[in-house]
Structure 1
């Protein structure tokens, strides 16, 4: 009895200590804190991260009009090395890693044995048998279990490696003026190493905004000197630091999805009907059925062959200008068809857009006469709005400068 009482007491104390424990600070926190005017922070994987720094709307326009700096250090990062690294990752992920050249990046996802998506992310090939896997959630136990039988070394380097996203039409000009000679040769999804402060910074032409942009990774100790180098070079180009609110708007315009927002990861799902296969969240194009066996292959191909896929992720254009975030989607105004997972009024597209998860056959067989039920707060009273929606292709916004090589000068 005493042992049980002590155990319960220890649990309560641990819970209190967890609440008291401050969120971790990223290597760039000192600079972000100095720029923050609104004290608008949120928790990103245990780190204190800005939702906005001064004004989310103006931060959005910094991405689309000038250059924006976003701290991506909390993104979970794994270093995977060893003689079986390629073979291991080919077994783990959906795409054929053998086709990924050194100094290239590709977007990918990985599933459990039932074909349900565990997460999506980017895979950087830094050498013949040296990779960095970046993702939203922590997966070290799963990655270690999946490594059984392979000669690989797995190491989480989230704490050790600082990351910055530099996005927007003047992002190349900032890097050029900061002295990163040769960065103009980077094509989309290329990687290269550049000297910085007695060491190296890895720059990839990647991002989450659908705009011209780059991601920079380097050891934590050199983080602030990189920030200052970019910030100084960026002043003539109207550089701004931004938070997630602005980034989220641009990723919706580009039609990108976010784990545990647009779909529930297999490890996070509490109910069996919440999990999704790649084809159910628009990731069917990642699946390479011609490569050697990979996690979930049989289940994914069986679902395709047997027609048992239950959901579909679609882009919607909605009448009016009230964002339909978390609105219910209906067919003929009465049959519940699904849920909007992300929505905004797009300043660039000048359209009311959304990403929605629908239950088949809605969105596949029945694509017309769709409606969304929006509750708009007007002077302390909710007004129900039924607005017509139509399925449209993603991305909602497509910018030529994202892929232009060399980038245009601004």
Structure 2
């Protein structure tokens, strides 16, 4: 059959450009881009080091338009969210944002994301990957409507210690009163922009959500207000360092979504991801995976999520974890980086239970290339209690005046 007139497969379609693409392209000198949910987005625009330090020392702008976004509304919106997610959604007030996960029937995590309660019966669910089929399956019997608004909302992650100062200069009066995980709508250029005090860097920061047709004006306003504050556009490589330094998980990197794992046992539960605080078994309603999670709570998880302080300066990318040098393999590293602000060689990973208690020592086998030759070294690693980097300014309200 001729393919003429048939819908193109995703791999035959050209990459889409976000409303911020032209602004980013003007600043790009590296020409290193990748695909994210059908959009082309930068790995780095100028220099990874400069972009990283913009996150920690001034202000950084990262395009998060490709995120999956779903608007869920109706009389049963709360009941639906409580059925879908593991946390107790009755505790999420209007004007607040919550982080959560959702699971399959075996209690394995499908994805994680943020939930914005924009009104009494309306939510915005944001995730890294598309979740339309999951929503369709769970919507049966609920009086709700849901729409994929991924392409209808342009979004920026604005992170760093000077972000509040710059936003005030743009004219967002009262932005300094937003607490962590608050959200509020502000007037801007004849429309509105929703601003949430959220982010993926473990630092002071905000996310800005706006109509695509007004996206360029918002970008220009941030850079004009921040021209004396060294505001920089950044790519995904700098963000990757910051999120590892903050000890934050990434789907597809630290865990395989349950809907895409091929081999049994390769998906992970919230308990195995160190997210047991998100599982509310006693919230009074049945939610996806609850029965399996009750069994796991009683029996104990298979793995433990660990944050490792690795000796030396050779990053432990894709390393195996051992109970001692040359000993038993007990786990693996999923993400690793040199953390410039924490000044640590850090790694995220998973070990078999009962290994990996806080304060314990494990070993990692590191391979690194130098002048086209592969080298191997053993390094001790200490299991840390909490993030490697967790500044007070992240939660301070109002943020410190600059």
TM-score normalized with structure 2 length: 0.96
* Mapped contact 1:173–1:237 kept (Cα < 8 A): no
Structure 2 equivalent of residue 281 of structure 1:
273
User: Distance in 1 between the 2:361 and 2:334 partners?
Assistant: 19
Provide structure 1 residue ranges, at least 5 long, that are not aligned to the other structure: 1-5
* Mapped contact 2:73–2:123 kept (Cα < 8 A): yes
* Mapped contact 2:359–2:384 kept (Cα < 8 A): no
Correspondence 1:76-95 to 2 at 5 A: 76-95=68-87
Structure 2 equivalent of residue 305 of structure 1:
298
Shift of residue 259 of structure 1?
0.5
User: Distance in 1 between the 2:361 and 2:120 partners?
Assistant: 52
Structure 2 equivalent of residue 334 of structure 1:
327
* Mapped contact 2:361–2:383 kept (Cα < 8 A): no
Structure 2 equivalent of residue 3 of structure 1:
none
User: Distance in 2 between the 1:100 and 1:367 partners?
Assistant: 34
Greater helix content: 1
Q: Are 1:347 and 2:340 an aligned pair?
A: yes
Shift of residue 125 of structure 1?
0.3
User: Distance in 2 between the 1:313 and 1:245 partners?
Assistant: 23
User: Distance in 2 between the 1:88 and 1:60 partners?
Assistant: 39
TM-score normalized with structure 1 length: 0.94
The 3-state SS of whatever aligns with 1:122 is strand
* Mapped contact 1:318–1:354 kept (Cα < 8 A): yes
The 3-state SS of whatever aligns with 1:274 is coil
User: Distance in 1 between the 2:13 and 2:49 partners?
Assistant: 32
The 3-state SS of whatever aligns with 1:280 is coil
Shift of residue 361 of structure 1?
2.7
Mean Cα deviation higher: 19-28 or 223-232: 19-28
User: Distance in 1 between the 2:386 and 2:372 partners?
Assistant: 35
* Mapped contact 1:37–1:53 kept (Cα < 8 A): yes
Q: Are 1:212 and 2:204 an aligned pair?
A: yes
1:387 pairs with 373, 379, 398, which one?
A: 379
Shift of residue 389 of structure 1?
1.1
**Residues 193-233 of structure 1: CA deviation (Å, up to 9, x unaligned):** 00011110000001001111000001111111111111110
Cα distance change, pair 14–329 in 1 and its aligned pair in 2 (3 A): farther
Q: Are 1:245 and 2:241 an aligned pair?
A: no
Q: How many residues align?
A: 399
1:358 pairs with 335, 351, 357, which one?
A: 351
Q: RMSD between aligned alpha carbons?
A: 1.6
1:171 pairs with 146, 163, 182, which one?
A: 163
Shift of residue 306 of structure 1?
2.2
Correspondence 1:31-70 to 2 at 5 A: 31-70=23-62
Structure 2 equivalent of residue 294 of structure 1:
287
The 3-state SS of whatever aligns with 1:278 is coil
Shift of residue 369 of structure 1?
4.6
Q: Are 1:224 and 2:216 an aligned pair?
A: yes
* Mapped contact 1:117–1:276 kept (Cα < 8 A): yes
* Mapped contact 1:71–1:164 kept (Cα < 8 A): yes
User: Distance in 2 between the 1:388 and 1:374 partners?
Assistant: 11
User: Distance in 1 between the 2:351 and 2:195 partners?
Assistant: 38
Q: Are 1:376 and 2:357 an aligned pair?
A: no
User: Distance in 1 between the 2:360 and 2:305 partners?
Assistant: 15
Structure 1 equivalent of residue 308 of structure 2:
316
User: Distance in 2 between the 1:19 and 1:106 partners?
Assistant: 34
**Residues 209-264 of structure 1: CA deviation (Å, up to 9, x unaligned):** 11110000011111111111111101011100001111111111111100011011
Q: Are 1:109 and 2:101 an aligned pair?
A: yes
